[in-house]
Amino acid sequence: MTERVQRIIIPAGATTPEIGKWLWALDDARTRTIRMIEGIAQAELDALPDGLDNTIGTLLYHIAIIEADYLSIDVMGHDDYLPELKPLLPLPVRTEDDRLSVMMGVSLDEHLRRFDIVRQRLLELFVEMTPEAFEQPRDLPTWGYEISPEWTVYHLTQHEGEHRGEIGSLLTLIRKGE
C-alpha cells in the first residue's frame, strides 16, 4: 500500500495559529524549491541557455537576498541588511543595468547555507511577533508604499514560487541541451 499524503496546513510554532499558517506557507515554498534543486550539478547551477539572463545560481541568490531585504529593511526598519547577513550577500540585488546580480561558481551547499541562515533570522522575528505587529503597516515614503509583515510573508512565498517555476524551466532547457 502506498503512503497516504496529507495536504493540510499545520501551523508552525508562533504567537498565533494565523501567523503559524503563514510561516508554514513560507516553509512549504522553501521545501518545494529545495526538492527541485536536490542533486543539481555545478554546471547546471552556472549554465545560461542562449537568450536568457539568469542562471539557477543567480536565481537562488536572488531569492535569498530579497528575503533578507524585506526582513531587514521593510519589516525591521533598518537602512541596510542585518550585520550577520551582510557577509552572505556580497552582491547587490541588481546591477547598474537593472539585471539580477550574477552568481556563478557558488556551490549548492553554499546556496542552501545562505537560505538557512536568512530564513532562521526571519523566523526568529516572526515566531515572536504579536498579531498587531504582524498586521501593522510601516510607511516607507522613500519607496512610495506601506508594507506590513503579513504582506511581506505573502510576497516572499509568491516570489519564491515564481522563481522556482523559472528554475524548473531552466533545468528543463539545460537537461535537454538547449
Contact 82, 76 (CB under 8 A): yes
Percentage of the chain exceeding pLDDT 90: 85
Burial class (CB in 10 A: 0-12, 13-18, 19+), 49: middle
pLDDT reported for residue 178: 58
* pLDDT score at 57: 98
List pLDDT tens digits, range 40-89. Answer: 999 999 999 999 999 999 999 999 999 999 999 999 999 899 999 999 99
pLDDT above 70 as % of the chain: 99
Predicted confidence (pLDDT) per residue in 93-151, tens digit: 999 999 999 999 999 999 999 999 999 999 999 999 999 999 999 998 988 999 999 99
Contact 137, 146 (CB under 8 A): yes
Q: What residue spans define the domains of the chain? A: 57-176
Residue 1 reports pLDDT greater than 80: no
Q: How far lies 114's CA from each of 1, 62, 86, 146, in Å? A: 39, 11, 11, 28
